[in-house]
Chains A and B, each alone.
Chain A
Amino acid sequence: MSKRKTSRREALFNSASAFGSAWIATHWSGILEAQEHAARAVKSAQPGKLQYFTPEQAAEIEAVTVQIIPTDDTPGAREAGSVHFIDRALATFDREKQPVYVQGLKDLQTKTGEMFPGTANFSALNANQQMQLLKSIERTPFFQQVRLHTVVGFFSNPEYGGNTEKIGWKLIGFEDTFHHQPPFGYYDGNKQA
């Protein structure tokens, strides 16, 4: 543990040294803390352990999140662990949202049976069927809540469990170094462009 910490400090030192020793002396503490925070954050996420959902419920919710942020040429909600973010939210900081999910899961099953007789679960539908069903319920409080949870989890600190391996941040090109140097973007770097 302490060895890993040291190596993180070293890695940080190497990256910071590009800006010169005076810069490090001035900014060391702030950067270090930010880096430590990010590293701690990644470690504390524990995908795999469900705290609120049953495995069956988790499969249904995950199928919904996968339609919200699908996997294509880049990872999506499945790889980012959105369902684990939601599971943890409902067990901890968003407990009051539990009834929305209880009712929503019930309605989802009913709707699945209505639209696709013979299929017991939403997660058993193919992708097109799932999308078709979700479009029919996209204004419901349940879907809006799953969408909000999925998006917030996908783009929040990895410690919350919905942005595993910074999948969401990588998608939008957000670098979590929390210190930057100019030029920041294309236009200030290429003023004649």
Chain B
Amino acid sequence: MTKFKPSTQVDFVIVGAGAAGGVMAKELSTAGFQVVVLEQGPYLRESDFTYDEKRVRDTPQLVNDHALQPNTFRKTEQEKAVLAPAISYGRCVGGGTVHYTATHWRFREIDFIERSKLGPISGTGLDDWPITYADLEPYYTKAEWDMGYSGLRGGSPFESSRSKDYPLPPFPNKSSGVLLDRAAAKLGLHTSPIPVAILSQPYKGRQGCVHCGFCEWFGCKVGAKSSSLAALFPVAEKTGRCEIRPNSYVREVSVDKSGRVNGVVYFDAQKKEVMQKAKAVVVCANGTETPRLLLMSKSSQFPNGLANSSGVVGKYLMFGTGASAHGLFEHPLNEYKSIQATRSIEDFYDSDPKRGFYGGGRIDARYGFSGPIGFALGGLPPDVPRWGAEFKKACKDANQTLTLQVFATSLPLETNNITLDPDVKDAWGLPAMRVTYRDHPDGMKTKEFFRAKALEILDAAGATKKWAGPVGETRNGGHLMGSCRMGNDPKTSVIDKFNRAHDVPNLFIVDGSSFVTSGRNHPTCTIEALAYRAADNAINMAKKGSLKAPVS
């Protein structure tokens, strides 16, 4: 196994071993560069993963632990933030790609140009991306073939153009998908097979899915989920030029006198401070930890935080939002088997001015619970007693219940942001992450719209009973996007269109924080494509010598 001394100046140090970190590590190391990847979480393998639902619920093995890293939350900047678990993200080698559902949607052409198409929305930061779908298309394709995706080209009438098929066929349709097909036919809507980052067949020496059903919140025990853990880091390590250093919690990206970054300072597993020297730094720490790290990296050159001359670092945070509804059916669906969802309705994807508000989304039908415990605690209709004979009877409906899950837009607002909490500290003595977040009124209307749509679709699918909780304001987030947005203007954005910091020539920022808009709340596929593109560019720059060793 490759080991670098911290005092050795490696070519790249990557902070965060998630979706983007995996792509960057693999691309840079296979291109001949020395890479150190620092991951705050553990390095787990397939054999460490479990089907034990209780353990996964009780102990944050794969995700962040709020006991160690508390968040504070407030709705507006006028309020005092209070302790609350506001953020959820993957915290292990592989990041969120280890425990996620792995539905894997590309953005569409419209997602990059909504501002031009819809016009400005006052009080929001809705903007076009500095790149288009066409710029990213080759990299979506690269991600799909490199990592192993299953899907059907042309499966959706709304699909943006593709240069290549998926490498693997889509998964067999589940009962939830058949019911969604049925409802769509009745309502004049369309369904399409959901592309997933899970192998429907063996691919590149990895085995295919065994349909165990334990995708969401669980690590894949057979390596069929195309996480960066299964698909990318093994390739990077094989080069002999990539060292993955788990349990390494980065507290600062350091800069030299010329204002270039020269490495990172982190706490190792024993909480000892270590500085890893590097010619260039790639921050892939996610849409909330990335801005936090930049804000903690204050220096005389960067008094407001690294790469923050614009003041935009941390701002325009977008959480994944949506709505859900549940239905009961006459016959067993057995939704706990196989991947979470196989069919989706995309007819309401685009924001339609006729609705009177900004917002769009995608509706899928799925198993909405983590397993038997999740169902018994959270899957029953609201009118059923929570104990006694009636409760027990209702539990028997587990296999006849499904969820319609909506993934919808969030608007970028300057007032939704990540800052450093002035009072609360984490277990390493660093300022806790303070989250300020409140849905835009159009976001609430979007949720209401889709809640009603989901109930209508359940009716059309033949549900014998249906229910949906009331729509509420977003108080915690996964799918963390937008807090170091990409743009052409250094005054209003943090990174350029190749994910390089406007202020620092040898600093790259690649993860959900790069997003200008939220798409329809499925960020991972686009995070990966951005990373492949950023890596291509960083490799070219490095080969031309523009990332050469900084003066120290």
List chain A positions with a Cβ less than 8 A from chain B: 26-27, 29-31, 33-34, 37, 67-70, 72, 74, 76, 93, 131, 134, 138, 147-148, 150-152, 154-157, 160, 168-169, 171-174, 176, 178-189, 191, 193
Q: Please state if B211 and A186 are interface contacts (CB–CB under 8 Å).
A: no
Cβ of B271 to closest chain A Cβ, rounded Å: 25
Chain A residue at minimal CB-CB distance from B372: A155
Instruction: Write the chain B residue with the least CB distance to A94.
Output: B58
With A37-B51, A69-B387, A76-B392 in contact, is A152–B212 under 8 Å at CB?
A: no
Number of A-B contacts (CB under 8 A): 147
- Give chain A nearest CB distance to B249 CB in angstroms: 26
Q: How far is the CA of A172 from the CA of B336 in the complex (A)?
A: 11
| Majority SS at the chain B contact face | loop
The answer to whether residues A185 and B174 also contact, given A33-B221, A172-B398 and a CB cut-off of 8 A, is yes
User: Which residue of A is nearest B213, CB measured?
Assistant: A180
Q: Which residues of B contact A178 (CB under 8 A)?
A: 51, 210, 212-214, 221
How far, in Å, is A184 (CB) from chain B's closest CB? 4
A16 to chain B, nearest CB (A): 10
Give chain A's interface secondary structure class: helix
Given A152-B373, A157-B54, check contact A173 B388 (CB 8 Å).
Answer: no
Q: Give Cα A174–Cα B399 distance, bound, in whole angstroms.
A: 8
Which of chain A's residues have a CB closer than 8 A to the CB of B386?
147
User: Once the chains bind, are B391 and A186 in contact (CB under 8 Å)?
Assistant: no
Verify A157–B337 contact, CB threshold 8 A.
Answer: no
B92 CB within 8 Å of chain A: no
CB distance from B219 to the nearest CB of A (A): 12
| List of A residues within 8 angstroms of B391 by Cβ | 68-69
Residue B32 lies at the interface, judged by CB distance under 8 Å to chain A: no
Residues of B with C-beta under 8 A to A168: 372
A193 and B329 CA atoms in complex are apart in Å by: 13
The CA of A156 and the CA of B370, in the complex, are separated in Å by: 12
Complex formed: what's the CA distance from A30 to B371 in Å? 19
Residue numbers of B with Cβ under 8 A of A are 47, 50-54, 57-58, 172-175, 177-179, 202, 207-208, 210-214, 221-222, 329, 331-338, 371-373, 375-377, 386-389, 391-392, 395-396, 398-399
Given contacts A30-B210, A151-B377, contact A157 B334 (CB under 8 A): no
Partner among B47, B331, B395 whose Cβ is within 8 Å of the Cβ of A187: B331
A180 to B52, CA, bound (A): 18
Q: Would B210 and A173 count as touching, CB distance under 8 A?
A: no
By the criterion CB–CB under 8 Å, are A160 and B54 in contact? yes
User: CA–CA, A74 to B396, complex, Å?
Assistant: 11
Given contact pairs A72-B389, A172-B395, A178-B51, A188 touches B175 in the complex (Cβ within 8 A): yes
Residue pair A187, B172 in contact (C-beta under 8 Å): no
> With A34-B212, A178-B212, A184-B175 given, is the CB distance from A156 to B54 under 8 Å?
yes
